[in-house]
Amino acid sequence: MVIFAIILLALLFFATEPVPVDVTAIGVMVTLMLVQPVSELFVSLGLLGAPIVFFESYPGDALSGFANTATLTVLAMFILSEGVQRTGIIQLLGAKIASFTGDDELKQLGATVGVVSPISGFINNTAAVAILLPMVTDLAERGNTSPSKLLLPLSYASMFGGMLTLIGTSTNILASDVYSRITGEAAISMFQFTHLGVVVMVVGTIYLLTVGRRLTPARIEPRRDLTEEFEMAEYLTEVVVREDSPVVGQQVQTALVETDFDVDLLQLIRGDSVFLEPLGPKEIQVGDVFTVRTDRDTLVELLDVEGLDLVPVTVTEDELELADEGQNLVEIVVAPGSSLVGETLTSASFRQRYNATVLALRRGGELIRRRMDNLPLRVGDTLLIQGTASSIERLDNNRNFIVAQEIERHDYRESKIPVAVGIVAGVVALAALDFVPIVVSALMGALAMVATKCLRPPELYDAVQWDVIFLLAGVIPLGIAMETSGAAALLAELVVMSGTVLPLLGVLGVFYFVTALLTNIISNNASVVLMIPVAIEAATTLGARPFSFVLAVMFAASTAFMTPVGYQTNLFVYGPGGYKFTDYIRVGGPLQLVLGIVTTLGVAYFFPLT
């Protein structure tokens, strides 16, 4: 009863996210650790007959998630993915793809799916989407295609591509560890389920190129100008300082920035010179022209109070990029684990910290272009940013964001491409040959990335998505507690009851679809921890092979197609694609059903149930 109460509360927090999922996971771990001492106190007070004990070794088992092989393997894989990314090989690949696809949407879609799927089998699929998202949006722009037609398939293809190998996603690694710990069998090997993964990938690719292509909406029109895409015509304008203006001789900071007006100064045009941030210290002169972001009502009041006149021009992306060579206007996506999640632009001091101005915010299909300063930011929010070329490059290097367009980078280590690729190949080969466990080969590879200077030592810590690591460390003890408390056995009994009316294949399908539905609501890693103990218990009771049931759960937990919150990659594309929540159900629902049937039949064919 206690463990079910904790699970229900955890599910509620995972689904509604009042706090980030990694914080919820740590909260679950702490709660589990408190149960034993609190129950012992109740026993001493005569309120309970016996203490409630979840862990044989207390508190060691409760903290074991931090030393777990799955946690450490995932940590090492983040480092390996970063080492590959720093070489710029993916960007070079993108440039070659663009020259091949041209303006043919089907070719663009085929190239997107065909590239991300195999890549996701060998580097973390979340990292693969983060790297490829700028390439895909640029591919759409060059080919005059709506980015919405490509970005959702990018996310979906990365998910079923992650099922090609053990290291494709953290879910596979965690599933292997839980399976090995409960059954005492050897951990799942590198390519043990690859043939099933290939079938799923082929079927998924065919769906995305045919039915999925028709169902995927073009939420964002093909564009050449970001100001048009964000419908900024009514919010961007230029004003000129009159001779009788009271702000003449004052600093920009005092006269125009530190005011109650909802207005952002984007650039100052003085004669033939154009200036970007920092504008604050500059002294205002007669005839200065400022490019500003504000709404019409505020503009009328600003013109009247500050002695400014309207300049009758249309402010375009080209106009905003006069001041500096390079890209000054880009979209950035708030990444999972970003320190800005829950913060506002004001509380985060965004403009001062990043030396850039937010012109608009897109949350799915919703555009926000006024009063943004006090709006709490969420994962997947897309911000239209204006800043200097150097500021944009710093944002591109910042782990808090994903810049949604390709920008010129000067820090790629292209000479290290063969080395980085060789290290990843070595990690895979050592694990596949069973020379050393995957955790050892992955940690060796992480060390080799630094030793060969593919990565610098400080970059190791930036490479790791610490929210995923803490999530794993927090939910692993929950799986242990489910086993020791008998909760897994009780749930398995309920599922086994369906075996009286369903064949064994039907029970396998039940596990797949229950896990898939759960994963679309909560974290994929939490789904694995909750469902694999139940699947193993049910399979044992039915006289079936636990491994087959574990595979069904593992594949289902990595294919959350029906909601933007079910998987991190879905959130990555939510803002840049301008999608609505229902788009995921419309495109992902049929895909979930098709792959559910294919996976269930594939498991039964390749890995007999008895």
- Supply φ then ψ for residue 325, to 5 degrees: -70, 140
What b/e string do you get for 447-460 counting C-beta neighbours within 10 Å, with b at 16 or more? ebbeeeebbeeebb
**309 within a domain of the structure (yes/no):** yes
Contact 384, 578 (CB under 8 A): no
User: 3-state DSSP call for residue 42?
Assistant: helix
My answer on whether 386 and 343 are in the same domain is yes
| Other Cβ atoms within 10 Å of 465 Cβ, number | 23
**257 within a domain of the structure (yes/no):** yes
Q: How far apart are CA 418 and CA 434, in angstroms?
A: 24
User: 3-state DSSP call for residue 173?
Assistant: helix
- Supply φ then ψ for residue 562, to 5 degrees: -95, -5
My answer on whether 303 and 348 are in the same domain is no
Q: How far apart are CA 263 and CA 255, in angstroms?
A: 12
My answer on whether 253 and 304 are in the same domain is yes
Q: What angle do CA 143, 148, 152 make, to 5 degrees?
A: 115
Residue 531 tokens, joined: 């469902």
Please choose, from the candidates 555, 563, 602, the residue with its C-alpha nearest in 3D space to the C-alpha of residue 15: 563
Q: How far apart are CA 405 and CA 415, in angstroms?
A: 24
Tell me which residue has tokens 């205002």.
284
360, 381, 399 - which closes a domain = 399
Please choose, from the candidates 293, 304, 302, the residue with its C-alpha nearest in 3D space to the C-alpha of residue 259: 302
| Other Cβ atoms within 10 Å of 595 Cβ, number | 28
**18 within a domain of the structure (yes/no):** no
Order of all β-strands in the sheet with 308-311: 273-275, 264-270, 289-293, 236-241, 308-311
My answer on whether 249 and 306 are in the same domain is yes
The residues pairing with 117 across neighbouring beta strands, listed in sequence order, are none
pLDDT of amino acid 223: 65
My answer on whether 283 and 350 are in the same domain is no
352, 382, 399 - which closes a domain = 399
State the total domains in the chain: 2
Domain containing residue 362: CATH number: 3.30.70.1450
Q: Which residues lie below 8 Å from residue 144, measured CB to CB, with a gap of 6+? A: 103, 222
My answer on whether 242 and 294 are in the same domain is yes
What is the Cα 220 distance to its own chain's centre? 20
My answer on whether 341 and 288 are in the same domain is no
Q: How far apart are CA 568 and CA 129, in angstroms?
A: 10
User: 3-state DSSP call for residue 255?
Assistant: helix
**136 within a domain of the structure (yes/no):** no
Q: Which residues lie below 8 Å from residue 67, measured CB to CB, with a gap of 6+? A: none
For the chain (610 residues), the mean pLDDT of every run of 10, in chain order, is: 88 80 89 90 87 84 87 89 83 73 83 89 82 83 86 93 90 91 89 94 95 91 73 79 81 71 78 74 83 79 77 72 63 82 85 82 81 82 83 81 73 85 90 86 93 89 85 86 84 77 89 89 83 91 92 91 83 85 91 95 93
Residue 386 belongs to domain spanning: 336-399
Tell me which residue has tokens 């004052």.
250
**108 within a domain of the structure (yes/no):** no
**390 within a domain of the structure (yes/no):** yes
| Other Cβ atoms within 10 Å of 328 Cβ, number | 22
**250 within a domain of the structure (yes/no):** yes
My answer on whether 238 and 303 are in the same domain is yes
| Other Cβ atoms within 10 Å of 218 Cβ, number | 14
Q: Which residues lie below 8 Å from residue 351, measured CB to CB, with a gap of 6+? A: 264, 277, 345, 357, 358
Q: Which element (helix H / strand E) includes 269?
A: strand 264-270
Q: Which residues lie below 8 Å from residue 90, measured CB to CB, with a gap of 6+? A: 84, 119, 131, 132, 135
Tell me which residue has tokens 């099922």.
163
pLDDT of amino acid 239: 83
My answer on whether 243 and 287 are in the same domain is yes
- Supply φ then ψ for residue 91, to 5 degrees: -65, -40
Residue 132 tokens, joined: 């490829």
Q: How far apart are CA 551 and CA 223, in angstroms?
A: 43
Dihedral, 368, 369, 375, 381 alpha carbons, nearest 10: 50
My answer on whether 303 and 355 are in the same domain is no
Residue 500 DSSP symbol: G
Q: How far apart are CA 373 and CA 391, in angstroms?
A: 20
**263 within a domain of the structure (yes/no):** yes
